Structure 1
């Protein structure tokens, strides 16, 4: 699998990932202390859904497109989903009606003046676009480097005289190595927890056949985090090995009551984005003490 952001912008996986990302930001900014956010595989930060890459796959039609059609302005919508739709609307007001925000744009949109963000992208072309899209924000540092290496280099975060006790790390790799990427991501999480144990970590992962992920679930449960939560949305049955049937987020050190928010979010997204046989699951792989 080569999951380059531009080809899949606005699809069902992006919807899940970005709804959850904003919910995490809102939970963390409920306290006044400054935050640091690290986006390890940031992509270009902003996309045009009518552009060459996203237009070629058309995946946004069954993602953000379907959600917008099912959730017009003024209709009752889950608050976390409305938060996401409002962010997309703000992005489009600034960048055009086919604009779609990547995670760096959403982090800059959701976090505060006192917070700081580091975004990493290894591909030169996308790193240049990322710098153009968010690099002008004084809160955002753009790094053209490997995101896994950045975990070891940038954590625990200290900028100037400020040491950041709280924050968020989003790991959203392309899974070019397929199942082997899960081992790489787990090792990165293990290292990150040693360096910055109190942070919230979110790892996105694709789902083809869910049963193939059982070793990943078992190993994730052994990570030295206070808690490990899996949030998953499958928009179709996971019986096709040739396509991405859904995706999940592994959340380490989830904020208080985040699981309750995501349980209802997953049900709402399944109802709006799912085909026949769609499912949603939220499970503690390691419950908080």
Structure 2
């Protein structure tokens, strides 16, 4: 798992799906005058360079945010976060979800981030200046910190899925956290793979249908970023989705096309 480097994939179509929905959720949540907690289990480095060697090598950013950025409404919170980061990081800077959260949250909101890769942690601490960054297993952090203080908040689960058992463990973690923190907005991202490796995760989440409007399961499909690339879509599961997120998901699906 520590071999995964998101710099090769930053800004791809899955990031567009993931980050646009995250931004929409946070944008709604900060409209209420109550502080909130933001927790992330697999944070990465927080800041990426789409003009860097890694991004240019795969071309995934060009096939992702580079292709569809102009299809979003100019005031979409995802584009606002992107503009905020690029104002200081330059035109090719791209925010991971920790920086999207920092761009949209308020000073009174609390950010706690977990990341296991030592090199990524160092960059993350420089990139997200007002977060509690912990070099710790994200699953352990999530279990130990929930319910957080403030109790109102959002938790993002976004592993690399390099370990195949993550497709089994992550839905179990999601439901365990929901039992511990029933009022929390809990988000789980997963890749849709041509191999079908994600199918056990989807089957494990079948019980979400009984939760009605208290759960949102949204998938988008898109062409492989390059010949032979196995990811053909992106999935997001949201427990306790903020108001309007279903409409926001439909808009992201339109943008991705």
Q: TM-score, normalised by structure 2?
A: 0.89
1:209–1:241 CA contact under 8 A, matched in 2: no
Q: Which runs of 4+ in 1 moved over 6 A?
A: none
The superposition leaves residues 51-108 of structure 1 with CA deviations (integer Å, 9 ceiling, x where unpaired) of 232222121001111123x44xxxxx4467x332232122111111111111111101
RMSD: 2.3
* 2:140 aligned with 1:149: yes
Report the Cα distance in structure 2 between the residues aligned to 1:10 and 1:211, rounded to whole angstroms: 23
**Equivalence for 2:83:** 89
Q: Select which of 163, 168, 193 maps to 1:177.
A: 163
Report the Cα distance in structure 2 between the residues aligned to 1:90 and 1:256, rounded to whole angstroms: 24
Q: Which structure 1 segments of 5+ residues have no match?
A: 72-76, 159-163, 271-289
Q: Select which of 172, 190, 207 maps to 1:222.
A: 207
Q: 1:198 to 1:210 in 2, by over 3 A?
A: farther
1:193–1:225 CA contact under 8 A, matched in 2: no
Could you tell me how far 1:27 is from its partner in structure 2?
1.7
**Equivalence for 1:127:** 121
Number of residues of Structure 1 aligned to a counterpart in Structure 2? 252
Q: Which structure 2 segments of 5+ residues have no match?
A: none
Could you tell me how far 1:244 is from its partner in structure 2?
0.6
2:115–2:137 CA contact under 8 A, matched in 1: yes
**Equivalence for 2:61:** 60
Task: State the secondary structure of the residue aligned to 2:231.
Answer: coil
Report the Cα distance in structure 2 between the residues aligned to 1:212 and 1:182, rounded to whole angstroms: 8
Q: TM-score, normalised by structure 1?
A: 0.80
**Equivalence for 1:246:** 233
Report the Cα distance in structure 2 between the residues aligned to 1:182 and 1:89, rounded to whole angstroms: 33
Could you tell me how far 1:151 is from its partner in structure 2?
0.8
Greater relative contact order (CA < 8 Å, ≥ 6 in sequence): 2
Q: Select which of 108, 114, 117 maps to 1:114.
A: 108
Q: Select which of 185, 199, 221 maps to 1:234.
A: 221
1:197–1:225 CA contact under 8 A, matched in 2: no
2:220–2:235 CA contact under 8 A, matched in 1: yes
Could you tell me how far 1:241 is from its partner in structure 2?
8.0
Q: Which has the larger radius of gyration?
A: 1
Report the Cα distance in structure 1 between the residues aligned to 2:155 and 2:243, rounded to whole angstroms: 17
